[in-house]
Structure 1
């Protein structure tokens, strides 16, 4: 079991990162895990504020996620989408009937003047989630994918075009004006956390938007807690999502070493430990030469037990 004074901050995107967050949530005492979630994927659709990564995490921690897809709700129905399609409405982004309730709740609360952090905290409470879930910012940040089909809003690239366009780069509209989550920044300044875990999420569109918020990555670097990062690339493949395809199109080696180099070059001194899968053990020396301490472990998380065990391994790494 983790030490009694263990207090963890996890950074995550959607499906892949939510797996490790679930392991951490089930391993740690209630209230000792805080999770900072990417909101660069957020967008407005059919008049609703959609927060895909936040909702994936909330549904996962609440035990309500669709186990086959990893996102959306288990036992979902699609009556609203079916009726909308008959009316000729836009149905490229599929919203299940129960999922729509979450978006209606969030949109109404935001329209009434609550900020995204307060609404997220209320959703987590109503879903009986004991960990603390934070949006990365309460101000809008919107990811744009620069592609061979022009500039595409992230969800148009990811869902509507199914990641088919070739990627040239990314930008984050509004990030210069967006403040990082103040509650998390205050806790970092107070050295509240004993461990920081960067979950295996897409480095370009899940973790970069968080780290690029002003002052955030340096606050993480300068806090006393070790920063442990888990590679989202295993044996040259992304376990979930388009990270490997993006890396190839950006001419970044599709390896755990390629991911490690991205963080070493863009956020020097941030990462203390870089956790790679057993299948990538031969890359450990090269990662060490980047200034990151490579550690090798089983990182595939197909079962709850594997999620918890990987969480346990992350928390066993301490600054020495």
Structure 2
């Protein structure tokens, strides 16, 4: 934490508690961007050098900032999330710059060529909707011929961690799996929910969604691997049924 110590000595804000390894990555990324490289190229370069096995692509090379209108006025995401620990109640969300941002060519190609698109159980308001807000990206996903499945980030109306339930409540949304599925309206073929939320299964099916009811809590890497395998098996089953119905 030497970098934070130096910043504190210089009277700089130190509420973002990053370790020196994180500072190293951010300095390298800023250096690469300042040199004129695209965010896509910088992200792929970092992923390769750090040994990531997955291909990582940002939705856009253009800047998009999450802004929150709170009971104390408009705030940037990180000062609210980290600096204030999600304290001021959020009344409105805005993804500044999304209307002018262009989808990354490689990200669009990945969507167009995908056979399966999975909306992970991340916070839909803070992690996924900034991507969907990029002009043209939501349309591209909707037009994709890929099977599109989502995994609920709520269990029994509560988030495993993070401020999702409070955010949804502040924005007047139902803090349920159904409330999350509504945010992806028109994009999903199926939605995985926790067994605790099985009473919502009938309404989800009435909305035209296939439903997988299982244990979606990922306590450790083994749980994460199990859930991923279940979703992939579900996708295979849905695809097989669709092909049989079409034949």
User: TM-score surpassing 0.5?
Assistant: yes
Quote the residue 2:122 is aligned against: 201
Superposed counterparts of 1:92-171, under 5 Å: 92-171=15-94
Alpha-carbon deviation of 1:107? 0.6
Quote the residue 2:195 is aligned against: 278
Name the count of aligned residue pairs.
237
Structure 1 runs not aligned, ≥5 long: 1-77
2:110 and 2:83 mapped to 1: Cα distance? 38
2:120 and 2:158 mapped to 1: Cα distance? 16
2:180 and 2:152 mapped to 1: Cα distance? 7
Alpha-carbon deviation of 1:94? 1.6
1:198 and 1:179 mapped to 2: Cα distance? 21
Quote the residue 2:215 is aligned against: 298
Q: Is the partner of 1:135 in helix, strand or coil?
A: coil
1:94 and 1:256 mapped to 2: Cα distance? 32
Q: Is the partner of 1:312 in helix, strand or coil?
A: helix
Superposed counterparts of 1:175-190, under 5 Å: 175-189=98-112
Of structures 1 and 2, the larger Rg is shown by: 2
Distance 1:187 1:99, change over 3 A: closer
Q: Output the TM-score relative to the length of structure 2.
A: 0.92
1:131 and 1:308 mapped to 2: Cα distance? 15
2:184 and 2:31 mapped to 1: Cα distance? 38
Q: Is the partner of 1:132 in helix, strand or coil?
A: coil
Alpha-carbon deviation of 1:112? 0.6
Quote the residue 1:243 is aligned against: 164
Q: Larger % of helix: which?
A: 2
2:143 and 2:232 mapped to 1: Cα distance? 19
Match of 1:311 among 200, 203, 228: 228
RMSD over equivalenced CA pairs, Å = 1.3
Contact 1:261 1:290 in 2 (8 A): no
Superposed counterparts of 1:3-22, under 5 Å: none
Q: Is the partner of 2:175 in helix, strand or coil?
A: coil
Superposed CA offset, 1:114-156 (max 9, x none): 0111111110111111210011111000010011110001111
Alpha-carbon deviation of 1:291? 2.3
Alpha-carbon deviation of 1:252? 1.2
1:108 and 1:262 mapped to 2: Cα distance? 36
1:294 and 1:249 mapped to 2: Cα distance? 27
Structure 2 runs not aligned, ≥5 long: 243-247
Alpha-carbon deviation of 1:262? 2.6
